Amino acid sequence: MYLLVLPLLATAATATSTAFSGLGQIRTIYIGRGHADLGCLTRSGQWTANEAQCGTFTAEPRSENTFSLSAPSHGGMAGGVEVCGVDVATFKCGGGVKGGIFGTFGPDGPIPGREVLRYGEYGVVATNAGDSPPSLKDEALDVHFYSGSEKGKWVWLAWKSLEGEANTDGIQGTGKTADYDPK
């Protein structure tokens, strides 16, 4: 079922990506009315409701309308970084995934006034678990771009800037991105 969407995933980004910049978290925002915040992604790109497991990411502008994402490896920034990308429609960071180029739908996209991540023309993500989002005690879940068969809640991925504040990986935001060039 994922193979049907793969050719479409590589389409060019056309929306502005200014919201995804510098240090931040990737939040999981419910697609339904009210757009509730249902958690975040871990540093490996999995969905969790446990705030202590939220990863810190660096969004690096690539071209006018696109950006790349990376996350510190388990040793924090001193231990290196892991690039984020898409592997068979699943969002991942590290583990050998090829770095992806992402965009947004712009501020007038699916959540008015808030930019959400997209990969090609796809943006809604889900899990194969029927009870997503995960509860605080559950293991984090892999997320993939929606294919039509998922039973749990579907979410957009949005940015929460951590610039200027200490984050969960112990890195102080400085107004600049980390000393890492994913190019």
What is the rounded average pLDDT of the residues 36-44? 96
10, part of any domain: yes
Q: Are strands 90-93 and 141-145 parallel, antiparallel or unpaired?
A: antiparallel
pLDDT (0 to 100) of residue 79 = 62
Alpha-carbon gap, residue 21 to 175, rounded angstroms:
10
Burial of 33 (0-12, 13-18, 19+ CB in 10 A): exposed
Closest CA to 69 of 52, 91, 49: 91
173, part of any domain: no
pLDDT at 182 over 60: no
Domain that holds residue 105: 2-145
What is the rounded average pLDDT of the residues 70-93? 84
Q: How many structural domains are present in the chain?
A: 1
58, part of any domain: yes
39, part of any domain: yes
170, part of any domain: no
157, part of any domain: no
171, part of any domain: no
